[in-house]
Structure 1
């Protein structure tokens, strides 16, 4: 099928669905079709770009720069996805061209954020891939709450406009294979550049990282997903002498984000957590946790528990992390299992996620 035909179908789906979902800030119909025609011309001329004609969405109106490697590989950007804006006081909300972004599983629930529209566009089947940015969980939380795969890369691996160094690029996809295709494209290396350790991979489970207060249901769903990975022979759950315990990163994260604040205390928290994580990864290759501590909240706002409680530690530490679908709660909304790996081991996260899909272990929308 020609790229023009693929993109035209995607644009038609967006036109039908977006007035309800509000996943897009802007849709670039004419430009997308022109770009798709250029891709078709390249293919006819004998060029075979690896992402020829793949429709992608970019996070926010300024997301095209992060998508440049995808476009160079033949992908076609169809629009900018919603992010928090006026009328969205919570970072877990999004505001699209037609109004407040809704969770595709339950319209009365938030999709998570700040990559809100990206997760919705992927979960609803509007695009197979959407770019994101993750400064505290902004890729992984909406991935969990919308039932898709969300990858945050190692901090500092790519240039970032974030002066704090907390934010890292990421991607939201329906499959681990699509996330791997994104990683190959943006990193310029095959996902198998480093050999995946023999399965099962040693992994440590933690429901709360020693400080968070997650609700029982997302913990149970994530623990069950970890058990399925173990039963399938993908991970071997290591029983540590004590549950992994980190210092709560919230004060450190907030300090680092506050201009003029004294960072000394934040650096001490970061150094101590780095030491504890180094010790953990000396005996295991993966750390498994729930992605979010609660189910998706309503549009009236979250409760007392930060949705970032289990994710932002790894923005402070810089470890790569991936949210894998972990099933559905009693409210019908998805939950996620977070996989955290040593620095630079995106290949390991993607390999385990892909094998989970191949064996039917992952539970996605």
Structure 2
């Protein structure tokens, strides 16, 4: 399910295992692409070429992700379980990718300390955020995977803007170094160009860890993939025809008509049953900042905490009632296509459909559904708590392979624009 011209993480690892290429050769290619494209896209906060080369020379070629290069979201703690588990599977970090500038009004941007990260589909646009650099690099074909965290859409918004996949599992699906936050918003995860790569990387990163005793059991419940058979399992394989509820918006701001049209057209042809649904959710705009403050150790008024908890409880109940009628909910991931990279001091609500499911903890995945005005449109699929495989099953149907963006390693002189 990778677009023409890309190489999936699974195929890279397969080539390494077969001896067709060495981990060092793969890493050198990724480093070269990063050096050529970063002056245009500004997705790197720091490249670690020597560290990547040393790691590549130590890779066990039998690993499930043997030799697969990836980028780490800037300011990710080095003890993060997701990093150690990907590296143990053979993946090689080549550096740290940009995230939103601290203190910015809007967080749907990336900043390398000198310039704002650009979208490889259009250099006047943002790649989203806060996992900005990872999304830009994956979309441009520099690496097949990048790590991130999602507390308000930080995996799904950039995936939508850049035409790739971002998966926020059920809260606790991937363990975090700080354990469960008081507000319970953030889930670690990955962004990738290929849905099956994202599923594989998430399964490798899942499971209990001593730093996060509240993390969920290993996922999926079927045996984990092996080096000799890395794709012999599929958590969506046993899922039959599903009932899908579609909502073009979940709040007071409507989706752009073109975005809505792309997703409706994709739903009409992708082999699912679309059901009209009602869903009355309490607004998230006051609850999320309170829970975020708790997660980040800032003082919060007890009355505000009670109100935030009431919003979470109301929305959890409303979603439970919804999932009695349908198997999954589909929405636009973002209300618009990618906005300008220079709008960072504006209050932008394009990711409004995302943060609701950080407050509740439900699994949600964004996949490309098509193009509007030449820019990617993401479809978000949300499933009941713990039923990540249902969201991914519908995402597999909705996924619309896109052409490569204009900025990519084989783009020749195009990268000099």
| TM-score, structure 1 normalization | 0.89
Distance 1:7 1:98 in 2: 26
The answer to whether structure 1 residue 220 and structure 2 residue 220 are counterparts is no
Segment of structure 1 superposing worse, 161-170 or 311-320:
161-170
- Counterpart position of 1:90: 106
Unpaired runs of at least 5, structure 1? none
- Counterpart position of 2:300: 260
Once the two structures are superposed, the pairs formed by residues 104-253 of structure 1 within 5 Å of their partners are 104-160=120-176, 161=178, 162-187=181-206, 189=218, 191=220, 193=222, 198-209=239-250, 211-229=252-270, 233=271, 235-240=272-277, 243-253=278-288
Distance 1:3 1:290 in 2: 38
Give 1:255 shift: 2.3
Unpaired runs of at least 5, structure 2? 1-20, 208-217, 223-234, 294-298, 405-417
- Counterpart position of 2:380: 338
Distance 1:38 1:79 in 2: 17
Distance 1:169 1:298 in 2: 27
- Counterpart position of 1:60: 74
RMSD, aligned α-carbons = 2.1
Render the CA deviation track for 1:314-365: whole Å, top value 9, x for unaligned. Answer: 00010010001011111x22110000011122222333334555xxx45464
Say which SS state the counterpart of residue 118 (structure 1) adopts. Answer: helix
Give 1:212 shift: 3.5
Give 1:89 shift: 4.3
Relative to structure 1, is the Cα distance of residues 168 and 8 closer, same or farther in structure 2, using a 3 angstrom cutoff? same
**Do the aligned residues in 2 keep the contact of 1:291 with 1:337 (CA within 8 Å)?**
yes
- Counterpart position of 1:318: 361
Relative to structure 1, is the Cα distance of residues 62 and 119 closer, same or farther in structure 2, using a 3 angstrom cutoff? same
**Do the aligned residues in 1 keep the contact of 2:165 with 2:366 (CA within 8 Å)?**
yes
- Counterpart position of 1:5: 25
Relative to structure 1, is the Cα distance of residues 210 and 257 closer, same or farther in structure 2, using a 3 angstrom cutoff? closer
Say which SS state the counterpart of residue 142 (structure 1) adopts. Answer: helix
Distance 1:87 1:278 in 2: 36
**Do the aligned residues in 1 keep the contact of 2:281 with 2:315 (CA within 8 Å)?**
yes
Distance 1:364 1:341 in 2: 28
Return the match for 2:64 from 27, 42, 50. Answer: 50
Give 1:138 shift: 0.7
Give 1:76 shift: 0.3
The number of residue pairs the alignment matches comes to: 349
Say which SS state the counterpart of residue 263 (structure 1) adopts. Answer: helix
The answer to whether structure 1 residue 72 and structure 2 residue 72 are counterparts is no
Return the match for 2:334 from 282, 287, 292. Answer: 292
Distance 1:346 1:5 in 2: 35
Distance 1:90 1:246 in 2: 24
**Do the aligned residues in 2 keep the contact of 1:319 with 1:341 (CA within 8 Å)?**
yes
Distance 2:241 2:67 in 1: 36
Distance 2:66 2:190 in 1: 18
Relative to structure 1, is the Cα distance of residues 77 and 304 closer, same or farther in structure 2, using a 3 angstrom cutoff? closer
Distance 2:377 2:198 in 1: 19
**Do the aligned residues in 2 keep the contact of 1:213 with 1:305 (CA within 8 Å)?**
no
- Counterpart position of 1:26: 46
Render the CA deviation track for 1:36-77: whole Å, top value 9, x for unaligned. Answer: 1001xx33xxxx211111111111143542311100111000
